[in-house]
Structure 1
Amino acid sequence: MKRSRSIALTLIPLLAAVASAVLFALPASAAAVTATFAKTSDWGSGWEGKYTITNGTGAALTSWTVAFDLPAGTTMGSYWDALMTSSGQRHTFTNRSWNGTVAPGASVSFGFLANGAGTPVNCTLNGASCGGGGTPTLSPTGSPTGSPSPSPTPSVPPTTPPGTPNPGMLPKHALIGYLHASFANGSGYLRMADVPAEWDIINLAFGEPTTATSGDIRFSLCPVAECPNVETEAEFKAAIQAKRAQGKKVLISIGGQNGQVQLTTTAARDAFVTSVAAIIDRYGLDGLDIDFEGHSLSLNTGDTDFRNPTTPAIVNLISAVRTLKARYGANFVLTMAPETFFVQLGHQYYGSGPWGGQDPRSGAYLPVIHALRDHLTVLHVQDYNSGPIVGLDGAYHTMGGADFHIAMTDMLLAGFPVAGNAANVFPALREDQVAFGAPSSVSAGNGYVGPAAIQEAVNCLVKGVSCGSYTPRSGTNPNFRGLMTWSINWDRYYGWEFRNSHAPFLRALP
């Protein structure tokens, strides 16, 4: 999101109970490579599991493959930090490019979700018993060819199964806005205590990195020189808690136009987790908004499968967010605000393409959204500052009316083929996970349309009326989450048009 006056380019508490890990491991033989299973969370109808591969030999392990069976009635869900293939109930996980080498005495891990009560059986590691005793794949020189990069391991169980809404989190149809908390941006500073009660999610703009690749995120209130009416930090914190007591959600938004975040290393990933958690804890926030723009996310050449990304900046972001979600539990709010270039454009182009030459940022949010869909509260794509995008009807849709909002949002509610491949479909999100973003005023971003057009789009998506020439492939979506805007400050500057028009409209929807 731009900080200039004229255009914006934007685009918990800890759980008290911690489940003890339940270990299922065969006895390890001396000087062996082993794979140990732990059930790190269990919510009755499903669970979260982790395998830890430990190299107890004197030579480096250069690759690993862990395979196991799940009993009938138990099915595999999402997974991370490995690549997976399945044949019936047999599931095979292989290392990623960045965690295949395991030095002597070191370990790496991967995780997954499963539905059902069964746990893994018949486990093998590189074709031998997971308890050790087989022949590991070792470096011929006996020295490591790289350093291990184990991912932080979630240890806090969710209170509701992943992939299901958490009741009481938000109103059925929510009003979401960004608050210029660290800068004024020409629209004037608005104190947290003065944010009107109609805003259900307030995204604090922005947390930014110390350098693009450090992962070290910092946030501070707007300087007095720029914002003479800025409150003290104590007043700011108190106002946040007052909002939360009213049922509002206050998040730290990371990125924006100026905050390029590239988690290209595991060190940057870990710094991101530590620094974002510090901000959340310091200000008593409900969660995280990911507003990565510019060159924060792009796909490396050859990274062509959104279900199994290999680009370190994307893999590390997914791992970092999973760790934060596990730390804060089921009430942790996660939202994302990508631009259409990073999401819906993936219907036509994904990354640099099979022959190279395309913009590697095309569709680059898709693997992040897909990997985190079980944790995602709301995705509100920025339907502004966008070029024409091909919709599910095969036609180009442009900004300037209800049609663009309808077509872009329908893609998320119905799912869409990636790079035009009908055999490679990005699955639909739940209705309650989808909102769309619109500028609050003509100064907030290209693509501004008046309240009537926005409400026309919502009525089409929710009720199937006022759809114009476009027929939504997703049908009606009565649980559509709501509307996001950049920004609350610009809305105040223009007399609260967005809030006054859309808050009562959303509340009146069935």
Structure 2
Amino acid sequence: MHASFANGSGYIPLADVPDSWDVIDLAFAEPTSPTSGQIDFTLCPASECPNVESADAFKAAVKAKQAEGKKVLVSIGGANGKVQLTTAAARDTFVASVSHIIDTYGLDGVDIDFENDSLALDKGDTDFRAPTTPSIVNLIAALKTLKAKYGAGFTLTMAPETFFVQLGHQFYGPGASGTEDPRAGAYLPVLYALRDDLSLLTVQDYNSGPIMGLDGQYHTMGGADFPIAMTDMLLAGFSVAGDTTRMFPPLRPDQVAIGLPASVNAGGGYIAPAAMTQTLDCLTRNTDCGTYTPHGTWPALRGLMAWSINWDAFAGGEFAKTFDTYFG
């Protein structure tokens, strides 16, 4: 949900978030500067969100949602929140400031939504299993520290774009020539290092260019084919930069949810409810897959993520209704 801004979709007090949503990411906590490591979170100003609740009411709503079995997380980054933990000092400041947000609001954990060039690989950093780029090494260390601090109940989710994950099947960082896009596949070392701590990965299957799937074909957003192919990669595993000696291993299906726009307003790549249902049928039942043949059947697939609760409400709640109908 949009907690720090309205973005044209309208503000929803946390207490009014529909029951459909089991994991609620509060968007967004942002850095004071890209390399400071200092992450701040504030509720939407009343000038933008006239119906914003007080801090005390917000904290009470967090507790009420948790009492209903929901998880409430702070989402760090977003399109405007560039975070690069290039130094040990920034790493430690990140841990301290994120801990302060978690403790202040009584949250369950964090969502890492680093976009743009928050994560980029240095030249010569070619193995996702042993990264050397400081901003990536420090992010991994910071998240492991937070997990250790808060224990087994700490919820860690990530919402990268396809460019940072599935594109790594073709391209990884600057490549041997040092001239390719250093952001390509840059989430892979983070996901790999934290795979045992990761609660949920919700790759954004939207706002994406064509991506090559495991079938060697390019898949384009906007229909069921795209999330089917992109999710199949996460659940089957894939070679990185075409090197079959460097395989990104599959995630557990209970760690994976499919990220989609909640409405046509929410981002490019919106797919209609029928295509959402087709995607789930294909991956969990191996039916209605169209021209794509997945590499398995995963009835334990975690579900769907939407950007966003607010945009879904703006569009009449169609995304949540489809989700609720499908899963009963």
> Which category describes the TM-score, using the shorter chain as reference length?
over 0.9
Amino acid at match of 1:503: D
Q: How far 1:355 moved relative to its partner? A: 1.2
Amino acid at match of 1:447: G
Distance in 2 (CA, whole Å) between partners of 1:481 and 1:500 is 17
Within a 5 Å distance, the mapping from 1:447-458 to structure 2 comes to 447-458=269-280
Q: Which runs of 5+ in 1 are unaligned?
A: 1-178
Distance in 2 (CA, whole Å) between partners of 1:239 and 1:199 is 14
Distance in 2 (CA, whole Å) between partners of 1:371 and 1:287 is 18
Within a 5 Å distance, the mapping from 1:43-122 to structure 2 comes to none
Amino acid at match of 1:481: R
Does residue 1:499 correspond to 2:320, yes or no?
yes
Choose 1 or 2 for highest CA Rg: 1
Distance in 2 (CA, whole Å) between partners of 1:268 and 1:222 is 26
1:272 is matched with: 94
1:10 is matched with: none
Deviations 1:423-475 (A, max 9, x none): 110000011001110000001000001111011011101011011111111x1
Deviations 1:310-339 (A, max 9, x none): 000000000000000000111111000000
Q: How far 1:478 moved relative to its partner? A: 1.1
Does residue 1:384 correspond to 2:218, yes or no?
no
Distance in 1 (CA, whole Å) between partners of 2:8 and 2:184 is 31
Distance in 1 (CA, whole Å) between partners of 2:327 and 2:135 is 37
The structure with the largest strand share of the pair is 1
The structure with the largest helix share of the pair is 2
TM-score by length of 1: 0.64
Match of 2:203, SS state, is strand
Q: How far 1:422 moved relative to its partner? A: 1.0
TM-score by length of 2: 0.99
Does residue 1:318 correspond to 2:133, yes or no?
no
**Pick from 424, 430, 439: which aligns with 2:261?**
439
Match of 2:34, SS state, is coil
1:252 is matched with: 74
Distance in 2 (CA, whole Å) between partners of 1:285 and 1:431 is 25
**Pick from 473, 483, 489: which aligns with 2:310?**
489
2:299 is matched with: 478
Name the count of aligned residue pairs: 328
Deviations 1:206-259 (A, max 9, x none): 000000000000001000111111000000000110000000000000000000
1:121 is matched with: none
**Pick from 32, 35, 40: which aligns with 1:210?**
32
Q: Which runs of 5+ in 2 are unaligned?
A: none
Match of 1:213, SS state, is coil
Deviations 1:258-279 (A, max 9, x none): 0000000000000000000000
Does residue 1:332 correspond to 2:150, yes or no?
no
2:193 is matched with: 371
2:286 is matched with: 464
Amino acid at match of 1:341: F
Within a 5 Å distance, the mapping from 1:173-188 to structure 2 comes to 179-188=1-10
Amino acid at match of 2:321: N
Match of 1:424, SS state, is strand
Amino acid at match of 2:322: S
Distance in 1 (CA, whole Å) between partners of 2:168 and 2:324 is 32
**Pick from 285, 292, 296: which aligns with 2:107?**
285
Match of 2:270, SS state, is coil
Deviations 1:3-57 (A, max 9, x none): xxxxxxxxxxxxxxxxxxxxxxxxxxxxxxxxxxxxxxxxxxxxxxxxxxxxxxx
- Counting aligned pairs with the same residue, the percent is 67
Distance in 2 (CA, whole Å) between partners of 1:386 and 1:202 is 24
1:395 is matched with: 217
Q: How far 1:197 moved relative to its partner? A: 1.1
Amino acid at match of 1:215: G
Distance in 2 (CA, whole Å) between partners of 1:394 and 1:501 is 31
Distance in 2 (CA, whole Å) between partners of 1:400 and 1:448 is 6
Within a 5 Å distance, the mapping from 1:13-28 to structure 2 comes to none
Distance in 1 (CA, whole Å) between partners of 2:26 and 2:324 is 20
Match of 2:76, SS state, is strand
Q: How far 1:506 moved relative to its partner? A: 2.3
Amino acid at match of 1:494: A
CA RMSD after TM alignment: 0.6
Distance in 1 (CA, whole Å) between partners of 2:250 and 2:5 is 36
2:173 is matched with: 351
Distance in 2 (CA, whole Å) between partners of 1:274 and 1:220 is 16
Distance in 2 (CA, whole Å) between partners of 1:191 and 1:238 is 11
**Pick from 193, 201, 226: which aligns with 2:23?**
201
Does residue 1:189 correspond to 2:1, yes or no?
no
Q: How far 1:504 moved relative to its partner? A: 2.7
**Pick from 129, 141, 147: which aligns with 1:307?**
129
Distance in 2 (CA, whole Å) between partners of 1:336 and 1:224 is 29
**Pick from 14, 20, 41: which aligns with 1:219?**
41
Distance in 1 (CA, whole Å) between partners of 2:222 and 2:7 is 24
Q: How far 1:503 moved relative to its partner? A: 2.0
Amino acid at match of 1:235: A
Deviations 1:471-506 (A, max 9, x none): 111x10011001000010010011000011112312
